[in-house]
Structure 1
Amino acid sequence: MCGICGWIDHRHDLGADEHARTLAAMNETMACRGPDQQGVWAEGPAALCHRRLAVIDVEGGRQPMSLDDDGEPALHIVYSGETYNFRELREQLAAAGHRFRTASDTEVVLRAHREWGRRDPRDVARRLNGMFAYALWDTATQELVLVRDRLGIKPLYYLPTPHGVLFGSEPKAILANPLADRTVDADGLRRALVFVADPSNAVFRGMREVPPGCIVRIGRSGDSGYGGCSGCREERYWQLADTGHTDDVDTTVGHVRELLEDTVERQLYSDVSLCTLLSGGLDSSALTALAARHVPEPVRSFAVDFAGHADNFTADDVRGTPDTPYVHEVAKWVGTDHRDIVLRTEDLMDPAARAATLHARDLPAGIGDMDTSLYLLFRAVRQESTVALSGESADEVFGGYRDFHDADTIAADTFPWLAGRMLNQDQRDPGLFDQALWRALDVPGYVEDQYRAALAEVPELTGPAADDPHERRMREVCYLYLTRFLPVLLDRKDRMSMAVGLEVRVPFCDHRLVEYVFGTPWAHKTFDGREKSLLRHATTDLLPESVVQRVKSPYPSTQDAGYETSLRERVTAILNEGDDAPVAPLVDRAAVRARLDAPAGRTPMGERMQLERMVDLNTWIRDLDVTLAV
C-alpha cells in the first residue's frame, strides 16, 4: 500500500531544480498513505513520486523503482496496493530469464511489463490478482500508463493538461500542482451530491478517475483524447460478463468455499502485523474464521462500538440488531484476540477528527458519524496492526442488502439504493438546498442519465434464466450495485484507512469470486429464501448459529441523542455566519431553520444526513479553497 503521484509535461525538463518544490508538495499530500519512505524520480518530461507504507519486502521495495540494467530502455514505476499472485508470476518470469533484485511485488509488476506488456499493457493487468493502482513510464516510447484494479479498490485520478497530465492516488496530490485549479462546476457539484459512482467526473473540473478495470495511456502525440489531452486514451482490460453458469446449487456453494479459502490464504501474506475487522455479521465473521484456519497464532480482531449503544439500542427500518453481542460471540467462538474500539459523542464531534476525515475524503460525503467513526476505528487499529482484512463488498457480490429483496425497490426505475430503505433519497426534493440551484443543477436528470448509461452496460443474460423477467432485473440490480455503489464504499474505506497508514484488504473483491457469483442465477443466490444464501451455506460450519441466521445490519451509526444536539449546534453556528458562510449560496436558510426548529430526537437518517452534508460542504469549500462555478 502506498500513495503515488506524478507529472508529465513535454515542455519542460522536470528534473530541473525549479520543479523540485512542486513535486515535493505533490508528494507530501500523500504522506499519510505512505509514512515509512518517500522517493521522487524526475528526468526529462516525466516525474514519478511515491510515499510508501512498507508491507512486503520492507527493505527492498523502495520506490520509484526502475528497470534499467538489462540492456533495454528503462522502465520506471510507482505502485500502490498488493498483487496477491506475485509469487507465481515471479516464478514464471524467473523461468523466462529475469533476475530479481528484491522480494517485492512491485518488481514483479515492473518486470512483467518488460516481458508481457511491450505490445499491450493490458496483457499485464489481466495477469494480476490484487488491489492496485500504478503508473509506468517507458523512456523508449515516452508513454505513461496508468493502471487500476478491476473493482476500483485502489484509487487513481488524473488531470489532462495541454502538454501532458497530472496524476495521483487522491485529488489533493493533483491540486498541489499550480497547473490544477480547484474549481467545481455544475457537473462536479452534481457528482458530489449524488451517491452514484462516476469515474468520468471526479468533482473538480477536468479531473477524472481511471475507471475500474481500465488503463489510461498518455503519449506525446496522437488523436485528442479526454480533456483535450493529446494521445490520452482509456482502454478496458476487464468487465463483468455473462458466464453461462451451469453449476447446480451444491456445486456452486462448494466452489464459493474453495475460492474463499484460496483468497483469504493469499491475502494473509504480509511481512507486518495483520488483523481482521469484525462486525458480528456473516461477512466479517466468515473472513475472521477463515483467517484463523491459516495462521498459527490467534487472529487479532477489532470492532467499533458506541458508548451505551448495545444497552440502549432501538431497532429501525435499516438496523434490526446491535453488533456488539454478535461480535463477542464470534470472537469467543473463533478464539480471536479481540478489542472493541468504543467511541463517545465527543469523539465523533471532535473538530480535529471531523476535519481529518473530510480532508481524507476530498469530498463532502455527508454521512457524518459513519465516516468519523470509521476513521477513529482505523486510527486505533493502526496502533497495533498495519494490515486488516475487511468484509466489504460481500453484500454487493452475494445480494445482502434488504433492498435486494424488496419488491417495490426492485421495481423502481432508478438506482435501488436511492429508492430503497438504505438511503431513500428523492432526487426531486432539494431538502436544505436552494430550490433555484437544485432546478439549475437538474439532479433528477443527472441521476436518470447515469442510470440509463449503467443499464446499457449490463451484459445480456443467457441460458434458461434469460426468459425470466425477475432474473433479468436482478442481473441489472447486481450490476448496478457492483459498478455504481460498491466503488463509493471502496473509496470511503481506502481513504479512511490510508489517512492513518493502515492497509485494508477486501477478499470478497477477488475478481474470480466476483465473476463466478455475478454469473450465478439469482435463484441460486436466494435458494434458501434468504439473503446471501451462497455465502451462508459456504461458511456455516465455521460460525455460531446466531451469526449464520442473523439478518444483515449495515455499518453502525450512533443513536445517542447528544450527537444530534451537537450536530444541530454546528449547523446553527454556520447559519449565524450569514453570507460569510462558504455554504451560504447553496442552501435555503429558511428550510435549514425550519429543520432546526423541528423537535429533536431520533431524526430520520435521511434528514440527519442533510444536516451532515451542510456541515461537510461548508468545511470542504473553506478548507480546500474550492471555487464554485455554478
Structure 2
Amino acid sequence: MCGIAGLWLSEQADATGLGDRVSRMNDALYHRGPDGGDVWVDDEGGLALGQRRLAIIDLSDAGKQPMHSANGRYVMVYNGEIYNAPELREKLASANITWRGHSDTEVILECIAHWGLRDTIKRLIGMFAIALWDRQKKKLFLVRDRLGIKPLYWSRYDGHIGFASEVKGLLAGDAISREVNQTGLDAYLRFGYVPSGLSIYAHAKMLKPGHILEISSHDQATETGYWSVEDAVLNGQTHAWSGDDQSAIDALEDLLRDAVQRRMVADVPLGAFLSGGIDSSTVVALMQSVSDRPVKTFSVGFEDEAFNEAAFAGEVARHLKTDHTELYVTPKDALDLVPKLSETYDEPFFDSSAIPTYLISALTRKHVTVALSGDGGDETFGGYNRYLWAKQLSAAAGSIPFGSGLVSRGLTMLSPEYWDKLVGLMPGKKSTSAIGDKIHKAAPLLAIRDDIDRYHALISLFDPDKLRGKHASTKKFRVPGEKFCRNRHLDYVSSMQAMDTMMYMVDDVLTKVDRASMANSLEVRVPFIDHRVIEFGWRLPARLKMNGSVGKYALRQILYKYVPREMIDRPKTGFGVPLAQWLRGPLNEWMGDHLANEALYADFGLDRRQIEKLRKEHMSGKRNWGHQLWTIAMLSDWQQRWLT
C-alpha cells in the first residue's frame, strides 16, 4: 500500500526541476507511505514517477519502488495488494526469472513483461492502482482495479500529463489549476461526493474502476474497460446458480473464506474492524476460523446509544474469543476531527461517517498496520434499508388507482408538526420522533412513477438546477448503469444493487475508507469486494439476498454457524454520528460560519434563500435537513481549504 504520483512533460517543456516537482507530489502523499519514498526520472522521455511506501509485503529494499522489470523495458509504481501473487509467480517458473525479492510489485512487473499488461491485469486478484511506463514504446499506462478500491486521478493541463493517488498530489506538482469543474460540483450537490470519471477540478479526472488508460502522446489518450459490473450481472444471469439454496450458501462460505484468508497474508501485524453487524462479524468469524491465535479486533463506541454499536461488537468479540480493543469517544473527540476532514478528503465529501471511520482507523493503527473490513456486503447481498423502502414505495405507488400524485400532494398538505401531533394521538405509539418530516420526504417519492427515477430521487440531496439555477452545468451526470438496468429489465432491488456497486460503493464507501485509513497510514482490505465474490453474488437467486423483508439472507445463514442468531438479528443502524443534533448544538456556530461563506453564492451560484430556509426549519426541529446542511457546510470548508 502506498501513494503514487508522476508527471510526463510535453515535448517542448524544459525538464529542469522535473524530479523536484514529483518529489513535492510525493511529499503531499507522505501519509500514504511513511516507510520510504523515491522518484525516478527518464530524462530522455521527460517523465518522472514517484512513490511513497507503506511496507506490507517484503519489507526489504527489494520491494522498493519505482521498480524496473528484469528486461529493463518497464518501470512501474503501484498502490495496492495482489493476493494471488504466489500463484502467479509459480506460473512464471518456466521463464527462468532471477527474482530479487518476494514483493507483489515484482510479480506484477514480470507478469507484464511475460504476458502483456491486459492479460496480466485480468489474472490479478486484489486492489490496485498502477502507473506503468513502457520505455520502448514511450507509452504511459494507468490502471485501476475492477471495483475502484484504490484511487487514481489523472490530469492533462498546460501540455503535461499528471497522475496521483489523491488530488493534493496533483496540486503539489502544479499538474492542475484550481478551476472548478461545474459538472463535478453539480454531482457533489446531488450525491454528496464526486463520482469517478470526474473530479471537482476542471483539469483532473478519477480513472473509472476496471479501466486502463493508454497515453501514447500528450494529445492522445484512450480509456478502455477490462471488467465491468454489467458483465458480472450478465454472466450471473447466464450462469445462474442451478443447485439448491444450501449448496449455494456453502459455496459462498467457501469463497468468502478464501477471500478472507488471502487477505490475512502480511509481513506486519494485522487485525479487523468489528462493528457487531453482519458484514464485519462474518469477516471476523471467518478470520478466526482459519487463525491459530486470537484475531485482533477493533471498535469505536459513542455515548449516544442510538449510534453506539460497541456493545454489540463486544458481545461478538467475546463469543469468537478475539483480542478485542474498543474506544469510547466523546462528542468533543469526534467534533475535533471536523476541521481535518477537508484536508483528508481533498474534494468535497459529505458522508459524516467519515468521522467514526477516521477514529477507528486511528485506534487500529496504534496496534496493527493492516485491517480487514466488512465494506461491500450491502451492495452485493441486499443489505441496505433503502432497498426495502424503495420496494415498498414502488408497490404503494402502483397500487393507488386514482393517482399517486394526488396522494403525494395530499400527504404534504398537512404540516410536519401536524402529522407529529396526529400520529401521537394513535394508541400504542410511544415514539413519533420526526414522523412528519419522514412523511414529507417520502411523499414526493410516491408521486414518481418510474422506479429508476425514484431511485435517483432517493439518493439525491439537492436538485442542482433548483439550487444553482442558471449556474448549473448543462452537462448532466446520471448514475452509471441506469441504461443497462432499463435495457436488461432487472428487478427493482437488483437495479439498485447494480447502480450502487458502480457508484455509491466506489465513490462514497471506498473513498471514505481509503482516505480515512491512509490518513493514518493503515491499509484496509475488503474481502466482500473481491471480484470473484461480486461475480458469484450475481449468480445467486434474489431470495438469498433479500428474502421478504430480511436482507443479506445468505450471509446470515453463514454467520449463524459461528455467532448465535440473537446477537445478530437486530435492526440495521449503520456507522454514523448524531449529525442532526450536532448541527443544532455544538456544530451550530461552525455551520453558521460556513453557510455565511460568500463564495457559496458568488462563485458557486447557490440559492442563499433556499439554504437559509433549510437551516431555519432544521434549527426549529420541524424538519431534519442535517445531511443537506452538512453537504453545503463541507463544500464551504473545502473551498476555504483548497481554493483560497
TM-score, normalization: structure 2?
A: 0.84
1:450 aligns with 2:469: no
1:168 aligns with 2:164: yes
Calculate the aligned-residue CA RMSD, in Å.
Answer: 2.7
1:66 aligns with 2:50: no
Shift in Å at residue 547 of structure 1? 3.5
Q: Please give the residue correspondences for 1:220-235 in structure 2 after superposition, counting only pairs within 5 Å.
A: 220=217, 229-235=218-224
Contact 2:65 2:76 in 1 (8 A): yes
* Aligned position for 2:472: 441
1:260 aligns with 2:256: yes
* Aligned position for 2:520: 500
Per-residue CA shift, 1:58-85, capped at 9, x if unaligned? Answer: 1131111112x4xx44211101000000
* Aligned position for 1:377: 360
TM-score, normalization: structure 1?
A: 0.85
Per-residue CA shift, 1:200-226, capped at 9, x if unaligned? Answer: 211210311221111111113xxxxxx
- Of 173-182 and 127-136, more deviation after overlay is shown by 173-182
Higher helix share: 2
* Aligned position for 1:553: 573
Shift in Å at residue 344 of structure 1? 1.6
- Taking the aligned partners of 2:327 and 2:367, their CA distance within structure 1 comes to 12
State the one-letter code of the partner of 1:620. Answer: W
> What SS does the corresponding residue of 2:123 show, helix, strand or coil?
coil
- Of 130-139 and 616-625, more deviation after overlay is shown by 616-625
- Taking the aligned partners of 2:602 and 2:246, their CA distance within structure 1 comes to 55
Per-residue CA shift, 1:275-313, capped at 9, x if unaligned? Answer: 11111111000111111112222111111221x222xx3
* Aligned position for 1:236: 225
Contact 1:331 1:338 in 2 (8 A): yes
> What SS does the corresponding residue of 1:81 show, helix, strand or coil?
strand
Q: Relative to structure 1, is the Cα distance of residues 527 and 613 closer, same or farther in structure 2, using a 3 angstrom cutoff? A: closer
* Aligned position for 1:344: 330
Shift in Å at residue 254 of structure 1? 1.3
State the one-letter code of the partner of 1:11. Answer: E
Contact 1:418 1:425 in 2 (8 A): no
Per-residue CA shift, 1:138-169, capped at 9, x if unaligned? Answer: 10011111111100000001012464410011
Contact 1:286 1:539 in 2 (8 A): yes
Contact 1:191 1:203 in 2 (8 A): no
Q: Relative to structure 1, is the Cα distance of residues 138 and 493 closer, same or farther in structure 2, using a 3 angstrom cutoff? A: same
* Aligned position for 1:219: 216
Shift in Å at residue 12 of structure 1? 6.2
1:203 aligns with 2:230: no
- Taking the aligned partners of 2:636 and 2:52, their CA distance within structure 1 comes to 30
Shift in Å at residue 13 of structure 1? 8.1
> What SS does the corresponding residue of 1:450 show, helix, strand or coil?
coil
Per-residue CA shift, 1:91-150, capped at 9, x if unaligned? Answer: 111232222101100000011110011xxx211110000011011111001111111110
- Taking the aligned partners of 1:426 and 1:439, their CA distance within structure 2 comes to 15
* Aligned position for 2:407: none
Contact 1:403 1:409 in 2 (8 A): no
1:289 aligns with 2:285: yes
* Aligned position for 1:325: 311
Q: Please give the residue correspondences for 1:396-475 in structure 2 after superposition, counting only pairs within 5 Å.
A: 396-406=379-389, 407-409=391-393, 412-414=450-452, 418-420=456-458, 425=461, 427=463, 430=466, 435=467, 437-441=468-472, 446=476, 450-451=478-479, 454-458=481-485, 472-475=491-494
Shift in Å at residue 573 of structure 1? 2.9
Q: Relative to structure 1, is the Cα distance of residues 207 and 551 closer, same or farther in structure 2, using a 3 angstrom cutoff? A: same
State the one-letter code of the partner of 1:478. Answer: Q
Shift in Å at residue 10 of structure 1? 4.0
- Taking the aligned partners of 2:615 and 2:195, their CA distance within structure 1 comes to 33
Contact 2:148 2:210 in 1 (8 A): yes
- Of 266-275 and 16-25, more deviation after overlay is shown by 16-25
1:140 aligns with 2:140: no
State the one-letter code of the partner of 1:484. Answer: M
* Aligned position for 1:318: none
State the one-letter code of the partner of 1:201. Answer: L
Contact 1:561 1:602 in 2 (8 A): no
* Aligned position for 2:320: 334
1:479 aligns with 2:498: yes
- Taking the aligned partners of 1:187 and 1:560, their CA distance within structure 2 comes to 28
> What SS does the corresponding residue of 2:256 show, helix, strand or coil?
helix
State the one-letter code of the partner of 1:5. Answer: A
1:155 aligns with 2:138: no
Identity %: 31
* Aligned position for 1:392: 375
> What SS does the corresponding residue of 1:513 show, helix, strand or coil?
helix
Contact 2:128 2:144 in 1 (8 A): yes
- Taking the aligned partners of 1:539 and 1:122, their CA distance within structure 2 comes to 37
Shift in Å at residue 458 of structure 1? 4.2
1:613 aligns with 2:643: no
Shift in Å at residue 537 of structure 1? 1.5
State the one-letter code of the partner of 2:213. Answer: V
Match of 2:301 among 301, 305, 314: 305
Give aligned pairs, total: 577
Per-residue CA shift, 1:189-244, capped at 9, x if unaligned? Answer: 11222327632211210311221111111113xxxxxxxx5221111111132222
Per-residue CA shift, 1:399-442, capped at 9, x if unaligned? Answer: 1011212324557544666544xx56353795xxxx4x245316
Q: Relative to structure 1, is the Cα distance of residues 549 and 12 closer, same or farther in structure 2, using a 3 angstrom cutoff? A: same
State the one-letter code of the partner of 2:339. Answer: A
> What SS does the corresponding residue of 1:542 show, helix, strand or coil?
coil
- Taking the aligned partners of 1:103 and 1:97, their CA distance within structure 2 comes to 15
* Aligned position for 1:187: 183
- Taking the aligned partners of 1:429 and 1:162, their CA distance within structure 2 comes to 31
Shift in Å at residue 362 of structure 1? 1.4
Q: Relative to structure 1, is the Cα distance of residues 527 and 580 closer, same or farther in structure 2, using a 3 angstrom cutoff? A: closer
Q: Relative to structure 1, is the Cα distance of residues 409 and 37 closer, same or farther in structure 2, using a 3 angstrom cutoff? A: farther
- Taking the aligned partners of 1:557 and 1:6, their CA distance within structure 2 comes to 37
Shift in Å at residue 335 of structure 1? 0.8
State the one-letter code of the partner of 1:355. Answer: P
State the one-letter code of the partner of 1:166. Answer: G
> What SS does the corresponding residue of 2:348 show, helix, strand or coil?
coil
- Taking the aligned partners of 1:124 and 1:61, their CA distance within structure 2 comes to 19
- Taking the aligned partners of 1:486 and 1:180, their CA distance within structure 2 comes to 27
Shift in Å at residue 20 of structure 1? 3.0
Q: Relative to structure 1, is the Cα distance of residues 272 and 178 closer, same or farther in structure 2, using a 3 angstrom cutoff? A: same
Q: Relative to structure 1, is the Cα distance of residues 538 and 268 closer, same or farther in structure 2, using a 3 angstrom cutoff? A: same
Structure 1: unaligned runs, 5 residues or longer:
221-228, 314-320, 462-468
> What SS does the corresponding residue of 2:571 show, helix, strand or coil?
coil
Contact 1:418 1:426 in 2 (8 A): no
